[in-house]
């Protein structure tokens, strides 16, 4: 980031009095082997469906530029796996090697997300998708079963239908002992008014599901199940290949900002849909897009509320217009044509603006039930967590007093190891620490970033999350301290 010489992970850890939790590392499944293991537990439908989903990039790269332009197929990532650094490539493929290298990388505990998790939830056929994801979660759990003191894998939770998500949540928590769920958002759904059947029409004529508002299903039972089984919904969704990120020639154009875009949509929908109001105990994380968009959204929501809450909106009611006064002012300061046009409309300058589009509740924030400043902290700043890659200088926005009410946002350290943007797995921690070296973050900020916030995200949802892990004692102290204000309030 700043270009100054890095400390090593060991040197940084020697300066700290707290552990480091990696909130979003990755492993890279070796498809030929992984698919055959899936075949054993889920049959041909699971294995072949997995391979078909993972071949999407290859299929797009086989198209000519002209064909991608004609069909508006976006340029996918190419050369996205480490080759110059073979040791890291092997580490990404083999969880036991990653486990062995955690001290070298600088992490005491790591949440490991699947690479395949971005594609499998988008399988269109219901039966195939369910078979693939169930088999994936079983095989993945096997890879990590002896590594739980320092790593835990995220299972894939499909969200096409509420009952599908609930069924998988039940299975992974009770049968596999899973503690982390990777949820998809910004999921394409077919537009009802457009005939289906052509692959390009079906791909492009879509709208995107964000679960909080405008959903075709009621997802509250899913959030209730998350609360019941102790899973914090963590969204890891792609926003590339869509709308303004659909270049047929330039992967970087499609890639920049796409995770943030998907997180922005989901966070906005969940907030405006009143989900954080109805489920105050839930914590939601939006991964790999940073926190800069989260700070901007916080301000944008508040500014819109100030102008569009139901009381403020009352001042914009068309029937409040003093047509007589308006006519007099137009006569005095306007043009002859203005006065004539106004008279033709019975004094209404914009008769069509009386319409409200047929909605019953004019309050866009009605589901939030906001009545006081503290509601903004309770409904946004407290339940939302933001996965931040190490070299993103906008991570500092989580800790700046420029956020509404001076609120600190919950940024969590996310190494993204295993993917192309980490050239050396030993670099993310030093890159994150640069903000401390540059005087942008304090030591306390850094502790929150790389440790406390991750504990509160997963441990608030599941108080036993860190039991038996390398960080159990320190995590318990954080959770106990967080409970003190709650207990004090309850005693009043």
β-pairing, 410-414 vs 109-114, is unpaired
Whether 228 and 328 map to the same domain: the answer is no
**Is 410 found in the same domain as 330?**
no
Q: Is the pLDDT of residue 282 over 80?
A: yes
Going by C-alpha positions, the residue among 30, 24, 28, 37 that lies closest to residue 142 is 37
Q: What is the pLDDT of residue 489?
A: 55
Same domain, 346 and 414: no
293 and 182 assigned to the same domain: yes
Query: How confident is the model at residue 118, as a pLDDT?
Result: 87
Confidence of residue 5 (pLDDT cuts 50, 70, 90): low
User: Do 266 and 289 reside in the same domain of the chain?
Assistant: yes
385 with 412: CB under 8 angstroms? yes
User: For the chain, how many structural domains are there in total?
Assistant: 2
The verdict on residue 369 lying in a domain is no
pLDDT tens digits, one per residue of 164-201: 999 999 999 999 999 999 998 888 899 999 998 898 99
Question: CA-to-CA distance for 306 and 178, rounded, in angstroms?
Answer: 42
Residue closest to 89 by CA, chosen among 28, 137, 179: 28
User: In percent, how much of the chain has pLDDT > 70?
Assistant: 97
Q: Confirm whether 366 is domain-assigned.
A: no
- The reported pLDDT for the residue numbered 334 is 84
In a domain, 411, yes or no: yes
Place of tokens 């650094």: 85
118 token code pair: 């971005």
Asked if the structure places residue 364 within a domain, the reply is no
pLDDT bin (cut points 50, 70, 90) of residue 272 is very high
Q: Is residue 368 part of a domain?
A: no
Residue 393: closest CA among 440, 428, 426: 440
For residues 468 and 343, membership in a common domain is answered with no
Shared domain for 135 and 189, answered yes or no, is: yes
Q: For residue 487, what pLDDT band results from cuts at 50, 70 and 90? A: very low
Looking from the CA of 164 toward its CB, the CA atoms found within 13 Å total: 20
Residues 175, 322, single domain; the answer is no
Cβ contacts of residue 357 below 8 Å, gap of 6+?
none
183: helix, coil or strand? Answer: strand
Domain check: are 128 and 173 in the same one?
yes
For the segment 8-18, the average pLDDT, to the nearest whole number, is 96
Is 371 within the bounds of a domain?
A: no
Q: Does 335 lie in the same domain as 285? A: no
Domain that holds residue 317: 310-354
**What token pair was written down for 449?**
């970033």
Same domain for 383 and 347: no
pLDDT tens digits, one per residue of 409-441: 999 999 999 999 899 999 999 999 999 999 999
Report the CATH number that the domain containing residue 403 is assigned in CATH: 3.20.20.140
Residue 149 lies in a domain: yes
Strand 21-27 and strand 151-157: the pairing is unpaired
Instruction: Tell whether 91 and 36 lie within a shared domain.
Output: yes
Residue 490: band (very low, low, confident or very high) from pLDDT cuts 50, 70, 90: very low
């Amino acid at each position: 980031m700043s270009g100054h010489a890095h400390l090593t992970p060991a040197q940084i850890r020697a300066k700290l009095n707290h552990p480091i939790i990696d909130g979003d590392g990755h492993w890279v499944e070796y498809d030929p082997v992984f698919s055959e293991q899936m075949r054993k537990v889920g049959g041909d439908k699971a294995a072949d469906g997995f391979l078909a989903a993972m071949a999407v990039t290859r299929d797009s790269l086989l198209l000519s530029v002209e064909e991608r332009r004609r069909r508006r197929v976006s340029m996918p990532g190419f050369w996205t796996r480490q080759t110059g650094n073979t040791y890291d490539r092997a580490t990404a493929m083999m969880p036991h090697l990653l486990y062995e290298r955690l001290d070298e990388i600088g992490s005491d505990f790591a949440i490991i997300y699947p690479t395949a998790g971005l594609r499998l939830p988008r399988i269109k056929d219901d039966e195939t998708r369910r078979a693939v994801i169930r088999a994936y979660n079983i095989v993945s759990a096997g890879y990590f079963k002896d590594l739980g003191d320092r790593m835990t894998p995220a299972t894939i939770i499909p969200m096409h239908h509420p009952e599908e998500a609930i069924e998988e949540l039940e299975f992974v928590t009770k049968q596999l002992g899973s503690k982390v769920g990777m949820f998809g958002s910004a999921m394409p759904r077919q537009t009802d008014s457009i005939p289906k059947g052509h692959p390009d029409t079906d791909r492009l004529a879509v709208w995107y599901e964000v679960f909080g508002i405008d959903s075709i299903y009621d997802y509250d039972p899913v959030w209730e199940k998350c609360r019941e089984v102790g899973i914090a919904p963590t969204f890891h969704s792609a926003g590339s290949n869509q709308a303004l990120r659909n270049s047929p020639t330039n992967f970087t154009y499609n890639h920049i900002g796409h995770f943030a875009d998907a997180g922005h949509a989901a966070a906005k929908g969940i907030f405006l849909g009143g989900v954080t109001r109805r489920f105050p105990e839930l914590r939601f994380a939006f991964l790999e897009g940073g926190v800069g968009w989260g700070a901007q959204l916080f301000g944008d929501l508040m500014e819109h509320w100030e102008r569009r809450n139901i009381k403020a909106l009352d001042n914009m009611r068309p029937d409040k217009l003093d047509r007589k006064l308006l006519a007099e002012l137009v006569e005095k300061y306007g043009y002859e044509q203005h006065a004539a046009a106004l008279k033709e409309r019975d004094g209404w300058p914009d008769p069509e603006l009386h319409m409200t589009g047929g909605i019953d509740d004019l309050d866009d924030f009605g589901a939030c039930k906001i009545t006081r400043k503290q509601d903004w902290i309770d409904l946004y700043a407290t339940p939302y967590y933001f996965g931040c890659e190490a070299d993103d200088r906008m991570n500092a926005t989580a800790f700046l007093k420029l956020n509404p009410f001076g609120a600190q946002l919950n940024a969590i350290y996310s190494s993204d190891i295993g993917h192309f943007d980490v050239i050396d797995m030993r670099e993310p921690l030093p890159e994150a620490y640069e903000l401390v070296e540059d005087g942008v973050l304090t030591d306390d900020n850094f502790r929150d970033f790389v440790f406390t916030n991750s504990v509160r995200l997963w441990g608030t949802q599941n108080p036993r999350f860190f039991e038996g892990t390398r960080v159990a004692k320190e995590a318990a102290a954080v959770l106990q301290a967080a409970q003190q204000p709650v207990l004090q309030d309850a005693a009043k």
